Amino acid sequence: MFKKISYIFVFAFCGSLLRLGLTAMTSHHLTTILLINVAGSFLLAFISKSLPTLIPLSEAAMAGLTVGLVGSFTTFSTFSMDVVHLLQQGAMGLALTYWLASLLLGCGAAVLGFRSSARVTEGA
């Protein structure tokens, strides 16, 4: 259990730094968070399905990559607060667009991640 927690901790630190770096590079907060969450949806699906087939990884390492790295890189809480703030500001159309885009693009990216991993692992 300690090994699993250690992997999650180290990878979560890296994922958080990556997200911080990306958000610091732009002033387009909503777009950046949307892209981070869509990329994370793809990565989580791809990593979850392909890596165990391609590389022998321990359960602890997989938890580090999925829960730690991707989990800390993506940010559902920031997305949720952004929607609430937009609603509070009376930007109903933008809030709905952001919410729908996040949901549809995130799910679409997850499907692409699963399909991509299937192609990568076909010969493995």
pTM equals 0.91
CA distance between the termini of the chain: 30
Nearest to 43 by CA among 70, 62, 68, 23: 70
Query: What pLDDT was estimated at residue 86?
Result: 97
- Taking the C-alpha atoms of residue 119 and residue 81, their distance in angstroms, rounded to an integer, is 36
SS3 assignment for the chain: CHHHHHHHHHHHHHHHHHHHHHHHCCCCHHHHHHHHHHHHHHHHHHHHHHHHHHCCCCHHHHHHHHHHHHHHHCCHHHHHHHHHHHHHCCCHHHHHHHHHHHHHHHHHHHHHHHHHHHHHHCCC
Per domain, the residue ranges of the chain are: 2-121
Q: What is the pLDDT along the chain (124 residues), one digit of tens a residue?
A: 999 999 999 999 999 999 999 999 999 999 999 999 999 999 999 999 999 999 999 999 999 999 999 999 999 999 999 999 999 999 999 999 999 999 999 999 999 999 999 888 886 6
Give CA–CA dist 105/100, Å, rounded: 8
Nearest Cα residue to 4 out of 64, 47, 57, 66: 64
